[in-house]
Amino acid sequence: MATIGNIKRVSAVFTVGATETDPTDLTVRVRAPDGPEASYVYGTDAEVTRTAVGRFRFDLTGTQAGEYIVRFEGVGAATAADNEKIKFTSSGFSS
């Protein structure tokens, strides 16, 4: 769980067999608590970072309270998809 305004790092590892492998194309999809969805593409959008062969991360900044869903979708050389749910809450203080 994280507080609104903070960054939560989400990561994914892609493998073929036991070997970490970069997917040919990687998209990270994010669904906000109120429903809108955004897509980020590795190699196009700076929000998606490759940290090593087959390893990627996405830094999510929570802008509203509730549950976000982050989905990594790799295709091509390493095809896989995985979701992670992240909950953001208010700090309990007024600004």
Measured between alpha carbons, how far apart are the two ends of the chain, in Å? 20
The pLDDT tens digits of the residues spanning 43-73 come to 999 999 999 999 999 999 999 999 999 999 9
β 7-13/55-61 pair status: antiparallel
Average pLDDT of the chain to the nearest whole number: 94
Mean pLDDT of 1-18: 93
pLDDT of residue 1 exceeding 90 = no
Report helix, strand or coil for 92.
Answer: coil
Q: Please give the pLDDT value at position 91.
A: 75
Contact call for residues 40 and 27 (beta carbons, < 8 A): yes
Q: Please give the pLDDT value at position 94.
A: 59
| Helices and strands counted in the chain (H then E) | 0, 10
**Residue 2's pLDDT band (cuts 50, 70, 90):** confident
